[in-house]
Amino acid sequence: MDLRLTVTRGEISTVVRVDGRLSVQGVREFERLVQTIDGPKVLDLTHLVSADDAGVTLLRTFARQGAQLIGTTPYMQLLLKSDSTTQPHQKDREAS
C-alpha cells in the first residue's frame, strides 16, 4: 500500500485519515481531496508510515492554511518543525 486517504465528515470538522506513504506520487491526489473540503479540516497522521520532501511540504502548507494535524510521530514533528510556521497539534502521539 502506498497511500490511502479516508474522509469522515462530522458536524464540526472533516477528518482525513492518511495511511501509508505520502510521496510525490500521492501529493496531487491528497491536495485535490483536501481542497474539496469546506470548513475545518483535521488530518489524522496516526497511520502515516513515511513522507518524502513533497509530502512534508504539503503537510506544512495544510498546517499554514489552518488544518489541524493530529497523530504525528515524534519524527514527523521534527520534520514539520523544520519550518517554523508549522505547529503540530497537542494531540500528537507521545514518544514511547
59 belongs to a structural domain: yes
pLDDT, the chain, mean? 88
Q: What is the pLDDT of residue 58?
A: 97
C-alpha to C-alpha distance for 75 and 39, rounded to whole angstroms? 29
Q: What is the pLDDT of residue 95?
A: 43
Q: What is the dihedral of CA 79, 82, 86, 87, to 10 degrees?
A: 70
Q: Structural domain of residue 48, as residue ranges? A: 3-81
CATH number, domain of 62, equals: 3.30.750.24
C-alpha to C-alpha distance for 94 and 32, rounded to whole angstroms? 30
Q: Is the pLDDT of residue 16 over 60?
A: yes
36 belongs to a structural domain: yes
- Total structural domains in the chain? 1
90 belongs to a structural domain: no
C-alpha to C-alpha distance for 4 and 15, rounded to whole angstroms? 13
User: For the segment 57-96, what is each residue's pLDDT rounded down to a tens digit?
Assistant: 999 999 999 999 999 999 999 999 875 444 455 455 444 4
